[in-house]
Amino acid sequence: MKKVLALLAIIFVICAAGVAFAAEPIKIGYLAALTGDYAQYGITEVNMAKMVVADINAKGGILGRKIELIPYDTKTRNEDAVNAVRRMIESDKVCAIVGANSSGINIATAPIVAKGQTPQISTVGTNPLVTVDNKGNVRPYSFRICFTDPYQGALAADLAYKDLNKKKAAILYNVGSDYAQGLREFFVKDYEKLGGKIVADEGFRETDVDFRAQLTKIKNSGADVLFLPGMGKDMALAIKQAQELGLKAVIVGGDGYAEFMNEIAGPAMKGTYYVNHTYLDDPGMAPIFKRYKEVYKDDCKEFVNGTMAYDGMYWLIDAIKRAGKAEGPAIAKALEATKGLKLHHATLTIDPKTHNPLNKAGIILKVGDDLKTKFYKKVEPK
């Protein structure tokens, strides 16, 4: 009798453990800059991701399990990002990671997620090397939800040369940024192919805040368009200082653009153009931005990051469902096989050879006289 009881007890313990195991949440890591220069972008992303997790959990989770979001701060530094990703994989045992938003960080973490067999989705890392290595081979565990710099550079060149009819371009870029270097390279290539001339190509370093020396050179070069392949703060300061120096060139930027630039640069922002992934009035995202405001009592100013984080989470959740289990390799396979997935801002199809989305439209934005960013045009890929 004692033996039977003991056996029953053991069976009971195992069952209880089994139940507990089944109910254990699916852990998803979120990598974002929560402090440092890019904190604005990162905080918005994590806020959006939390909203998604709350929604999914309220509906009972996925695969019968709740989701747990584990955010880590990159501090806008590659070395901190690398440590964060190691911890996510080794001690938190996340099944996948969403973020970060910057190319440099994703390039730095790519070998680690590959080794740890944990898929990572970059939100706005547009440099080609995020998903493909130097030799052109696809990185098996690195994905992105945004378009890439060759496409973005071409859009910017097209805008400057054809739409705005400017034939002499100047560039001001951060020499230490993978993102800026890449975007600049593709802009130059496409702009020159169209027939335009690069009359000034000026660099600055990560920590610089004063660009007046370079802008003076740019002004004297006679450029009629200034391309800024940079990030929010740098671009805003450059735009402000350009206005102070009386630079007349039209300013075109990339997707490092953020709404907080309007606060920094003020009226100098009027009439500037940006290439971007989405826009504030996107009908698919508008209700989500409205809810964001209700939940966080603040506008979703960094709406591009918000959108990519929101849809990035939904993409991952869809992949976990299709994989049928919360394990890295299976999720990576499901992410790779994504076809015609209807998200909120776009319909996503992934190219298995590059892990880049196919056929994503580019959006051109223009800052109006009221300092509100307005939709200028949408460019469907050829």
Partner 1 sequence: MDTFIQQLINGLSLGSVYALIAVGYSLVYSVLLFSNFAHGGFLVIGGYICYFVLRSGGANIWVASIAALIGAGVSAIVVERLAYRPIRERTPITLYMLIASMGMSIVIENIFVVTVGGRFRALPPVIPTDPVNFFGLATTSAFDILSLVTAVVFLAGLQLFLVKTKWGLAIRAASYNLKTAGLMGVNVNRLISIVFFVAGLLAGVGGIFLSVRYTLYPQLGMITTKAFVAAVIGGLGSLPGAVVGSLILGVAEMLTAGFISSQFRDLVVFGILIITLIIRPTGLFGKSVGEKV
Structure tokens that stand for 167 in this block = 């034939």
Say whether residue 79 binds partner 1 (CB under 8 A).
Answer: no
Q: With binding defined as CB under 8 A, does residue 245 bind partner 1?
A: yes
One-letter amino acid for residue 317 of the chain: I
Residues contacting 54, CB < 8 A, separation 6+: none
Residue 19 in contact with partner 1, rule: CB under 8 A: no
Phi, psi of 117 (to 5 degrees): 50, 45
Decide: is 206 part of the binding site for partner 1 (CB under 8 A): no
217 binds partner 1 (CB under 8 A): yes
Nearest to 280 by CA among 139, 143, 374: 374
Q: Which of 25, 27, 39, 366 binds partner 1 (CB under 8 A)?
A: 39
Task: Find the part of the chain contacting partner 1 (CB under 8 A) among 57-65, 237-245, 306-314, 332-340.
Answer: 237-245
Q: Pick the stretch among 86-94, 141-149, 190-198, 211-219 that binds partner 1 (CB under 8 A).
A: 211-219
Whole-angstrom distance, CA of residue 45 vs CA of residue 73: 12
Q: Is 91 in the site for partner 1 (CB under 8 A)?
A: no
What sign has the CA pseudo-torsion 351, 354, 357, 362?
Answer: negative
Q: Which is nearer to partner 1, 204 or 315 (CB)?
A: 204
Task: Please tell me whether residue 162 adopts helix, strand or coil conformation.
Answer: helix
Nearer to partner 1 among residue 263 and residue 281 (C-beta): 263
Peptide bond into 17 cis (omega under 30): no
Q: How far apart are CA 40 and CA 259, in angstroms?
A: 10
Q: Is residue 240 part of the contact set for partner 1 (CB under 8 A)? A: yes
Task: Work out whether 297 is an interface residue with partner 1 (CB under 8 A).
Answer: no
| Contact partners, residue 232, CB within 8 Å, separation at least 6 | 38, 40, 41, 256, 257, 258, 260, 261, 264
Is position 214 an interface residue for partner 1 (rule: CB under 8 A)?
yes
Please report, for the chain, how many H helices and E strands are present, in that order: 12, 16
Tokens for 24?
A: 């254990």
324 binding partner 1? (CB under 8 A): no
Residue 54 engages partner 1 in binding (rule: CB under 8 A): no
Q: Does 233 bind partner 1 (CB under 8 A)?
A: yes
Decide: is 220 part of the binding site for partner 1 (CB under 8 A): yes
Q: Token digits for 123?
A: 């939100």
Distances (CA, A) of 228 to 41, 225, 378: 18, 10, 20
**Rule CB under 8 A: which of 160-179 touch partner 1?**
175
- 151 vs 211, beta carbon nearer partner 1: 211
Task: State the binding string over 260-279 for partner 1 (x if CB under 8 A, else -).
Answer: x--xxxx-------------
> What is the number of alpha carbons within 13 Å of residue 25 lying toward its C-beta?
16
Among 237, 275, 350, 365, interactor with partner 1 by CB under 8 A: 237
Residues that bind partner 1 (CB under 8 A): 34-36, 39-40, 43, 175, 202-205, 207-214, 216-217, 220, 232-233, 236-237, 240, 243-246, 260, 263-266
